[in-house]
Structure 1
Amino acid sequence: MLDRHSASTHLAPPGATPTLDPLPRRIADFATLGEALDYAAGGRRGLNFHDARGNLAQAYPYAELRRDALAHARRFMALGLAKGDRLALVAETGPEFAACFFGAIYAGLWPVPLPLPTSFGGREAYVEQLKVMLQSCDPKLFLYPAELEDFAAAAAEQRGVEGRSWESLADVVPDEAAALPAADPQEIAYLQYSSGSTRFPHGVAVTHHALLDNLKAHGVGLQVRDSDRCVSWLPWYHDMGLVGCLLSPLSQQISVDYMKTEDFARRPLAWLDLISRNPGTTVSYSPTFGYDICARRISSQTRASDRFDLSRWRVAGNGADMIRPDVMQAFVDAFADAGFKAHAFCPSYGLAEATLAVSLMPPGEGIRVELVEESELSGAGTPAQERPRRYRAIVNCGKPVQGMTIEIRDADGSVMADRQIGKVWVKGASLMVGYYRDQESTDACMKDGWLDTGDMGYLSSGYIFIVGRAKDMIIINGRNHWPQDIEWAVEQLPGFKSGDIAAFAITGPSGEEQPAVLVHCRVSDPEERGRLRDDIRERVRAITGITPVVELVPPRSLPRTSSGKLSRTKARNLYLSGEIVPFDIAA
């Protein structure tokens, strides 16, 4: 059994950057991101990159990051890039991306993180996605790791963009005489593609001022301490990974230990191993599915305390998708004897269009839920007496972060009272300038300084509760049905997990709307498939009162966004176009 008292909470892994540092802590009170790195470089903290087995591969102090970034800035200028040019770069978790990203910041360029191929279904799908994003951001230069040259160079060539590996930058002589441009806080710092942007990407334009406002709110909301240390596996092309687990720790001078996202995907429990072996770790984030897969992977025959020590984990952040209380409870049940405390959970709500954080649960309050009757969620009014009441547990996502205001509005734009479900609108200094070169989409979601998030929720005593995405809602006979409820119902059947099911509405033969459910099927026997389809149909009918179209599809058929979340919209389009081919099952 691990001895939870054998190591000081202030220690760092051997060879890694320290947890504690004499440099006085500043909570992101800088005018620009370059200033934040300038200050962090005065201390000894920094980034630490670990291999697939969790061994330290490279310690990268913020001072070294700054040195390399300044050299890259002058290399970019020597290559002819000028202030305001876009620099696209594949967001691989490693020192090369970090140095190129901050090199772009120092040179006044707009870095644009692009996804890795792990979220796509093969070479052609990945190249196509890169092409779409390159067309959208129109970069002057596209950088990528040498091992992805086959993919990235093809996309760059087809889009007429100069592409090169970041390893090749070593051959570029920096323009040492070049004066780095001054950065204005109101200028664009970077472009962030929102997680739902696949076919028609939206490049979110974030200024230095908006970014630092959100980073400060993040630090204040998490009650950052001198003894904090972070562990992360989240991808840097997603806002929670880039802003929450790279830019936020840097702006608050926190040391971070990283493992690559693909290493987490292969060995999820390595995340918890890394937390356990790094005795100073207090902060780590994950979407719900990360906690889910860890709880599923731990053997019922194994005592978690024999392998893990999670006793110092004070902020177990949760965001980026719908937070499911049953999954969180399963994680607590699985790892309580390893020292994990339920009150460490920190639910949050955010989106790239707000830079990142909109709300955070105050540390220590943990997961809190409210039971909301189905009729309130569907807008159907008081349920008939003969129908049993059904409830859904809605997770409290905390209070608005510093400087952020949240309103719940009805379809006419009127502000709604507490505990009334409507559209979530937010306002604050960290909102995006708009979508890059897409004024129509910007105007569709931003009005008078307010952002229409596209999410549905309600306020209760100053806390925000998110119930779902408005665009995902399935409306049948005037009743609203949330796809999450349908998907959850199927997940309760043996052999299914989160991400195996996509629910959405289609138009039936008579022109009426009806729900469709696509389900990953790992059964080969035709009779078993037929029984499985019937079981799914009955389960959905029992939970929702509606009979769906059920299609069993091959594993890994359902598409995901660049951040790994299920894309119901894309699944629907692929199904209707015939690109997702269901198994043939006799009626």
Structure 2
Amino acid sequence: MTTDSTIEPTPNDCSQERRFSDFGTFGEALDYAASGTLGLNFHDARGDLERAYPFSELRDDAIAMARRLVAAGLKPGDRLALIAETAPDFAAAFCGAVYAGVWPVPLPLPTSFGGKEGYVDQLAVQLSSSDPVMLLYPAEISEMTQAAADRQGCKGASYEDFGAGDVPDAALPQSKPDDICYLQYSSGSTRFPHGVAVTHEALLANLAAHGLGMKLQPGDRCVSWLPWYHDMGLVGCLLSPIANQVSTDYLRTEHFARRPLAWLDMISRNPGTTLSYSPTFGYDICARRISSQSNVAERFDLSRWRVAGNGADMIRPDVMQGFVNAFADAGFSAGAFLPSYGLAEATLAVTIMPPGEGIRVELVEEERLSGHARDLARPARYRAIVNCGKAVEGMEVAIRGEGGRALPDHQIGKVWCRGSSVMHSYFRDPESTAECMVDGWLDTGDMGYMADGYLFIVGRAKDMIIINGKNHWPQDIEWAVEQLPGFNHGDIAAFAIETDTGEEAPAVLVHCRVSDPDERVRLHEQIKDKVRSVTGMNCVVELVPPRTLPRTSSGKLSRAKAKKQYLSGEIEPFKLLEAA
């Protein structure tokens, strides 16, 4: 097996002048990157280098793939579905589709939850929505992926088979900035998928804003384990390094899940400065793997980690503090944290914290977050709201209330954004496009407020639990329960249900690792009391087996799916003693 000792990684720097994504099309961006010596580097489960893949080699492979696609009959505007494994085959196929004017559609790999049939069903729905001419996939999952392709009636082939043989001599079309570059599906879309159509112009505008917002500098190198079917992994950690000319090291997402500290090992080995992003749970997993007896300074050197990005989910300041506590002795600086906010409908980045400012929070009364008056009979409760930074270059952010009324600083409302990187549309879904796009402004579906040019995100509007006219944020309930001993981040899902009496009540599903029946009853009552202290009302508490709560393909808790599975009986809670 080849290791770091026999393969030279692509360098951190080269003589090529950095250009911040100032190209007409993404193909032009790769053409320019290929004229230097930087590139992508793929590592095994232990973090050892398996393959160095210079941008020049990626471009050669992408041109060959483009010619194969044209020879196979694919035309500009056709869709090419790609199972997004973190490997050269996907990178070459994605870029090859772009050169051919074909729209690549990155789709997820199977996960450890959901099972084979669930994965085939998810793929089939997304294939039906994107209507591709062909699906390409890794050979090792050909049975599942071909089943989904057959169900949709599109061609299917493995990357290996499609890329075999001589390269045909086929002329490639010339793309324009306002052409669609690719379709991005959100990680949680299973029943009603929305394919976000992103133009070359929008993509490059966001990539430029991304590079400028992070203040890219000589010596920077990206390290990532994020999946390439998610916007933060695809745009932030694959397309941005190409268009902004940054060498990058990759650990497969499934390898990170098994050996999360390999991510920090890779960062430690980087002789330059590191840029690396993760949702909150990635930092949480790493901190939990370190025991109080561990000497982190002997194993890790995180002193050159310049940008430790946070995004893709609600940012938990307590979890971030836990990471600092665990790795400060290894040189990690809290000032490296870079909170951000974005979504696929804006290509990726909407706001980024200026580098070096770290995590800043405001304590806000939960009554104000929920939009109702303070109950003076109950003690005030506060939630720490994380500052997600300032609007990136070319983007405007506004907070709107009822009827689209603009709200001043510190007033909570819907988050809207407008700019050069907002999506073209939802693919073949004009109704949904019209619902969220008004006069060039995008309704993000998130709630938040502004303060002195900085954005604070409160939660997803669709997740809010409304009972008896009062609003409750599910994360407030979930975070309160997590404070009880024995629970991890992601062990609780809260949502509203209709009870047997026809009234609505909060329901809380909780991963239970206790086997003693009496202890389960005690835990059940403890959780009920905790939720009552937050909401002021009784709730339905269900203890469920560990690893039961569903996740999106990017690892985030899916409350909507948890509710659906619970109501359908697919999630079976533990039965408690009659005395309960």
**Same-fold call, TM cutoff 0.5:** yes
Query: Structure 1 CA distance, aligned partners of 2:46 and 2:288?
Result: 20
Match of 1:251 in 2: 243
Q: CA deviation at 1:274?
A: 0.8
- Mean Cα displacement is larger for which, 272-281 or 210-219? 272-281
- Look up the equivalent residue of 1:82 and give its one-letter code: K
What does residue range 403-442 of structure 1 map to in structure 2 within 5 Å? Answer: 403-442=394-433
Q: Which runs of 5+ in 1 are unaligned?
A: 1-10
**Does the CA-based 8 Å contact 1:194-1:353 persist in structure 2?**
no
Paired residue for 1:575, among 549, 562, 566? 566
Query: Structure 2 CA distance, aligned partners of 1:402 and 1:109?
Result: 29
**Does the CA-based 8 Å contact 1:377-1:421 persist in structure 2?**
yes
Paired residue for 2:220, among 225, 228, 234? 228
Query: Structure 2 CA distance, aligned partners of 1:330 and 1:72?
Result: 45
Query: Structure 2 CA distance, aligned partners of 1:386 and 1:536?
Result: 22
Q: Does 1:241 align with 2:237?
A: no
- Look up the equivalent residue of 2:284 and give its one-letter code: D
- C-alpha spacing 1:290/1:12, structure 2 compared with 1 (3 Å): farther
Match of 2:338 in 1: 346
Deviations 1:302-347 (A, max 9, x none): 1211110000011000000000100011111111110000010000
Match of 1:8 in 2: none
Match of 1:58 in 2: 51
- The count of residues paired between Structure 1 and Structure 2 equals 575
Query: Structure 2 CA distance, aligned partners of 1:200 and 1:272?
Result: 37
Q: CA deviation at 1:13?
A: 11
Q: CA deviation at 1:14?
A: 6.0
Deviations 1:193-252 (A, max 9, x none): 013312211110000000000000001111011211010000000000000000001111
Match of 2:484 in 1: 493
- Look up the equivalent residue of 1:347 and give its one-letter code: P
**Does the CA-based 8 Å contact 1:119-1:562 persist in structure 2?**
no
Match of 2:186 in 1: 194
Query: Structure 2 CA distance, aligned partners of 1:379 and 1:13?
Result: 60
What does residue range 77-476 of structure 1 map to in structure 2 within 5 Å? Answer: 77-118=70-111, 120-176=113-169, 178-381=170-373, 383-476=374-467
**Does the CA-based 8 Å contact 1:78-1:174 persist in structure 2?**
no
Q: Which runs of structure 1 show a deviation greater than 4 angstroms over 4 or more consecutive aligned residues? A: 11-14
- Look up the equivalent residue of 2:144 and give its one-letter code: F
- C-alpha spacing 1:12/1:243, structure 2 compared with 1 (3 Å): farther
Query: Structure 2 CA distance, aligned partners of 1:364 and 1:278?
Result: 20
Query: Structure 1 CA distance, aligned partners of 2:565 and 2:554?
Result: 19
Deviations 1:173-200 (A, max 9, x none): 4331x22100011010000001331221
- C-alpha spacing 1:285/1:378, structure 2 compared with 1 (3 Å): same
**Does the CA-based 8 Å contact 1:12-1:19 persist in structure 2?**
no
Q: Secondary structure at the match of 2:163?
A: helix
**Does the CA-based 8 Å contact 2:400-2:406 persist in structure 1?**
yes
TM-score (norm 1): 0.96
- Mean Cα displacement is larger for which, 572-581 or 47-56? 572-581
- Look up the equivalent residue of 2:279 and give its one-letter code: P
- Look up the equivalent residue of 2:540 and give its one-letter code: V
Query: Structure 2 CA distance, aligned partners of 1:325 and 1:523?
Result: 28
- Mean Cα displacement is larger for which, 248-257 or 437-446? 437-446
**Does the CA-based 8 Å contact 1:75-1:173 persist in structure 2?**
no
Query: Structure 1 CA distance, aligned partners of 2:229 and 2:348?
Result: 13
Match of 1:4 in 2: none
Deviations 1:540-582 (A, max 9, x none): 2223323210011122221111221111111111111111111
- C-alpha spacing 1:214/1:13, structure 2 compared with 1 (3 Å): farther
Match of 1:524 in 2: 515
- Mean Cα displacement is larger for which, 391-400 or 553-562? 553-562
**Does the CA-based 8 Å contact 2:7-2:52 persist in structure 1?**
no
Query: Structure 2 CA distance, aligned partners of 1:49 and 1:171?
Result: 22
TM-score (norm 2): 0.97
Match of 1:22 in 2: 15
Match of 1:561 in 2: 552
Q: CA deviation at 1:74?
A: 0.4
- Mean Cα displacement is larger for which, 527-536 or 446-455? 527-536
Query: Structure 2 CA distance, aligned partners of 1:238 and 1:446?
Result: 22
- Look up the equivalent residue of 1:330 and give its one-letter code: G
Q: Which runs of 5+ in 2 are unaligned?
A: none
Q: Secondary structure at the match of 1:574?
A: helix
Match of 1:46 in 2: 39
Query: Structure 2 CA distance, aligned partners of 1:546 and 1:227?
Result: 55
**Does the CA-based 8 Å contact 2:7-2:50 persist in structure 1?**
no
Deviations 1:251-282 (A, max 9, x none): 11100000000000001111101100122242
Match of 1:3 in 2: none
Match of 2:531 in 1: 540
**Does the CA-based 8 Å contact 1:75-1:172 persist in structure 2?**
no
**Does the CA-based 8 Å contact 1:374-1:391 persist in structure 2?**
yes
Q: CA deviation at 1:522?
A: 2.0
**Does the CA-based 8 Å contact 1:54-1:270 persist in structure 2?**
yes
Match of 1:6 in 2: none
Query: Structure 1 CA distance, aligned partners of 2:134 and 2:405?
Result: 46
Query: Structure 2 CA distance, aligned partners of 1:398 and 1:286?
Result: 16
